[in-house]
Structure 1
């Protein structure tokens, strides 16, 4: 079984103690207290529009805040930096009208849309969003697919002209 032990360690106990020492050193570097370490410091949202990877100056307008998050892989609140569920739908039989849909990026990928990142703060806190929401103190419905498709088309046309794609 020695062939399975990572090099340069002689036994699993040595390997595990070294891993623990590495984590503790990282968490307490710079005088930080271990008691103040949280999962959210390691697991922050990294939700950006694809254009940010090409035009980094757009980051303030095309990205969600880098909030500390709960959750991980294989959990109901699936998320890690650069990875996560794009939506979560919860519906009970015979109670479809009470169903919830949560989307960390909102219903639109268009940064000038009122639905871009709509509900993001609610998602960060682990909440669910019903089919209606409050926006600016008004009870409103999320946009229709036709409105979203129209907004996406306008954005694509403008960006194609700007980038000459």
Structure 2
């Protein structure tokens, strides 16, 4: 099963960060319960705190840091299993956690959802990968090209290049984007021609 272990690792990281930084955010959370630590890189201060093991940061000092870390791991395991119907964590692949959900604003209407929204499916990558992907954030396009080597360039984007749901190009690039399969940058021979004619008055 691809990506087994990564869901637990990511959840454990989050549980550790929440617990370690709770001491720093305690007074602020008393005034504003939704306060969270939004750093672009939480790993650097988290690793430093875990490396130094300051007794001031352990919420339950009687067990020390080892018990503290183990409690965070157990919390991560419990939460992950609850979210996935009690499945053992070694049977939860990354694709069960990381999914692509691209929805058109009008796609909330059930009768329009199938035509306007892209399929809800597993997506490789994460917020720390070269192939950036989270539930709400992903690459709007992937482009690789060098000047003078345009025929070797690649480009792909989610959905397709047309914003018209009736167009065959509304979703024709979605599969390649999800699979990470490169498409040629250059368009190749014309398959269709559109002629714009001015309105007669």
Q: With the length of structure 1 as denominator, give the TM-score of the two structures.
A: 0.68
- Superposition CA RMSD, Å: 3.0
1:136 alignment counterpart: none
C-alpha separation between the residues in 2 aligned to 1:22 and 1:141?
Answer: 56
Aligned residues: 139
Unaligned segments of structure 1, at least 5 residues: 134-138, 151-165
Tell me how far apart the structure 2 counterparts of residues 114 and 28 of structure 1 sit (CA, whole Å). 40
Does structure 1 conserve the Cα–Cα contact (< 8 Å) formed by 2:124 and 2:131? yes
Task: Say which one has the larger Rg.
Answer: 2
The equivalent residue for 1:89 is 143
- Deviation, structure 1 residue 103: 0.4
Deviations 1:11-62 (A, max 9, x none): 4433322221122224444442333211111000011112235x45422211
SS at match of 1:79: coil
Please give the per-residue CA displacement for 1:56-83, whole angstroms capped at 9, x wherever unaligned: 5422211111111110124232111121
**Partner-residue secondary structure (3-state), 2:122:** coil
Higher strand content, 1 or 2: 1
TM-score using structure 2 length: 0.57
Output aligned runs, 1:72-151, within 5 Å: 72-131=126-185
CA deviation after TM superposition for structure 1 residue 115, in Å: 1.2
Deviations 1:107-148 (A, max 9, x none): 122222211121111111111111467xxxxx865889x88x
